[in-house]
Amino acid sequence: MGKYGLLGAHLEYSYSPEIHSKFGDYQYDLIEIPEEKLKEVVNSPEYDGFNVTIPYKRSVITLCDEVSSEALRIGAVNTIVKENGLKKGYNTDYFGFCYMLKRNNIELKGKKCMVLGNGGASAMVQTVMRDQGASEIVVVSRHGEDNYDNLDRHFDSEIIVNATPVGMYPNNGVSLVNVDDFPNLSGAVDLIYNPNKTKFILDATTRGIPACGGLSMLVAQAEKSSELFQHRVIDDEEIDAAIYDIRSELLNVVLIGMPGAGKTFLGRRIAEREHRKFIDLDDLIVEREGMSIPEIFRTKGEDYFRNVETEVLRETCKMSGVVIACGGGIVKRKQNYNLAKQNSRIIWVKRDLDKLDTEGRPISQTKSVEEIYEARKDLYEAWSDYFIDNNQDFN
C-alpha cells in the first residue's frame, strides 16, 4: 500500500490527506517538523515518499540523490519518491500550474505577465511563463526594482499571478493590486486556495476577467505526485472529479432570502444531511449583543445592526464546510457579497409572500412585505448560485 506524507512547518489547514485519498489507497500523513529534523525524516525507512511544502521545498534538494530537470530549473522540490534505494526529487507544482491555466483557458503566450512575490512559488510560475512563451515577465516584490510603489510602470500587464500569501485565510479580504488599474488584464490567477476566491479573484471576476484560485492547481499537483508514488497513470478526468468533490466539501452553503422564508429550517436540514455545522447569523448576533433582533432595531437602530451583521458574516464566512442562514437584509450591503462569495455557494430560499413566517421578525413598520421584496429580489437573484422553492408546508 505504501506510506507517504506531507513535510512542512505549519500544516494545520492542509487539505492534502483528503485530496490524496481521491487518487489511491495508501497512508498519507501530515508531518509537521522543524528544519533540524528534515534530514532524519526524509532518510527514514518508515516512508516511501513525501510531498514537501513551505518552507522546505528548496532545502530538500540537497537530500535527494536525483532531481528532475523541472525541479532543477525551478530550484525547488515538492515531491520525493524512494526507488531502488535512491531518493528522487520532482516538482509537480509545475504540472499543477499548467493544468490550472489550461482548465481556465488562460493563455500566457505573447502576453506581458506580472508575478506578485519572489519566493519559491514565484520561481515555478516564472518557469512556466518562460516555457509557454510570455513576451515579458515582471516580478514584483516589496523591496525589488519593481515593487508595489511603482506598479504604475506595469499597468499594461495582461496576466497577473499572485504567488504571495496575501489574501490567504485567516487574513481574507485583502489584495496587493487594484484590478481597475490594469485596463489590458485578460487573466487573474491566485495560487491561494483558502479561501476559494480571494479578493483579487473576486474583483477580477466582477469585471468579467477570466480568473481562478489555486484549488485546481493543488489537486492537479497532488494527482501528479500520486502517479509518481503509485507508478501508474491517472486519467485527467479523475483530477476534475477530485476538484469538484473537494470544492463541494470545503465550500460553505449560505442561505439568503426574505425573513420567514425558511432559511433556518432548511439550513438545519441541509447541515444534518451533509454532516456539517449549522450557523444562524441572527442567533450569533443575539448572543453577541445580549438582546433580540427586534430589540436591537428598536434601541440601537438598523445601521448599528447592519454593522454587527457584516462583522459576524466576515468572521463566519472565513470558515469552511458550514451551513449559514443569513438574515433577510444581508443583501442590502454591497460589501457583504464578497464576504459571502469568497468561500461559499449561495442559495436563495424562495417562498410566496403570503406564506412568510414574519412573527417576531424586524419587518419594517413603514413598508409592506411586498415593497421590501421588490427592493431586494434583484439582489437575491444577483447573489445566488441556485435557488430552492420552499412553498411546501414546513411540517
Given the residues 3, 22, 57, 334, select the one marked as catalytic.
57
| 376 known member of a binding site | yes
| 27 known member of a binding site | no
Cell numbers 512559488 correspond to what residue?
121
Task: Kindly tell me the burial class for residue 54, based on how many C-beta atoms sit within 10 Å of its own C-beta (0-12, 13-18, 19 or more).
Answer: middle
Q: Is 57 a catalytic residue?
A: yes
| 265 known member of a binding site | yes
253: which residues sit within 8 A by CB, 6+ positions away?
267, 270, 274, 276, 322, 323, 324, 344, 345, 347
| 262 known member of a binding site | yes
118's grid cell: 519572489
Cell numbers 450557523 correspond to what residue?
279
Distance CA 84, CA 11 (A): 29
| 299 known member of a binding site | no
| 58 known member of a binding site | no
Which phi and psi (to 5°) does residue 116 adopt?
-90, 115
| 204 known member of a binding site | no
- Radius of gyration of the chain measured on its C-alpha atoms: 24
Distance CA 349, CA 331 (A): 13
| 119 known member of a binding site | no
What is the distance of C-alpha 136 from the center of its chain? 28
| 264 known member of a binding site | yes
Given a contact cutoff of 8 angstroms between Cβ atoms, the answer to whether 254 and 318 are in contact is: no
| 375 known member of a binding site | no
Cell numbers 486556495 correspond to what residue?
193
Distance CA 47, CA 45 (A): 6
Given a contact cutoff of 8 angstroms between Cβ atoms, the answer to whether 157 and 138 are in contact is: yes
Query: Per the annotation, where are the binding residues for substrate?
Result: 282, 306, 328, 376
What are the residue numbers of the active site?
57
- Provide the annotated binding site for Mg(2+): 264
Residues within the annotated binding site? 260-265, 282, 306, 328, 361, 376, 392
Binding residues for ATP: 260-265, 361, 392
